[in-house]
Amino acid sequence: MGLGNRPHLPDQALLFWTKPPDDMDITLYSRATCPFCIRAKALLDKLGKPYTLHELHEGDPELTAAKAKWGHPTVPIVIIDGKLIGGCTELENLAASGGLR
Ligand SMILES: N[C@@H](CCC(=O)N[C@@H](CS)C(=O)NCC(=O)O)C(=O)O
């Protein structure tokens, strides 16, 4: 099916549709003690998905800048191919829909 004929899909599914999962460029902004961050990293590790990790501290300027840049007030901040996916919940939803195989 050509891309013009694709059914209506949410953004996360569309990401999977248009790009093979193995080519995904995954970046995580995280705090080491954050349970949601631990969950997100454990999921990616379990799936064997490589990712770039920015393990930061509360008040770290890089974390403050990332929250502002992506408009996402909590950690983890999950970026795939330069696009904000969301946090741990959205990452888990993406995985559950087959988008992270
Ligand atoms: N729904 C979010 C919840 C994330 C969340 O609540 N993270 C906490 C830390 S565990 C947080 O960022 N709190 C504010 C902060 O640390 O600045 C997700 O699934 O990622």
Measured distance CA(17)–CA(5) in Å, rounded? 12
CATH node for 26-96: 3.40.30.10
pLDDT, one tens digit per residue, over 9-61 is: 666 655 555 555 568 999 999 999 999 999 999 999 999 999 999 999 999 99
Q: Where are the domains of the chain?
A: 26-96
Residue 66 C-alpha to ligand 1 middle, in angstroms? 14
Atom number in ligand 1 closest to CA 91: 19
Residue 22 C-alpha to ligand 1 middle, in angstroms? 27
Averaged pLDDT, 4-11? 58
Query: Does the CB atom of residue 85 touch ligand 1 within 6 A?
Result: no
Confidence of residue 2 (pLDDT cuts 50, 70, 90): very low
Residue 1 has pLDDT above 50, yes or no: no
Residue 70 has pLDDT above 50, yes or no: yes
64-94 burial string, b = 16+ CB within 10 Å, else e? eebeeebebeebbbbbbeeeebbbbebbbeb
Q: Hey, whose CA ends up nearest to atom 6 of ligand 1? A: 74
Question: What is the reported pLDDT for 13?
Answer: 59
Q: Hey, whose CA ends up nearest to atom 14 of ligand 1? A: 74
Best residue for ligand 1 mutational test, from 31, 36, 72, 78 (most atoms within 8 Å of Cβ): 36
pLDDT, one tens digit per residue, over 74-97 is: 999 999 999 999 999 999 999 999
Residue 8 has pLDDT above 90, yes or no: no
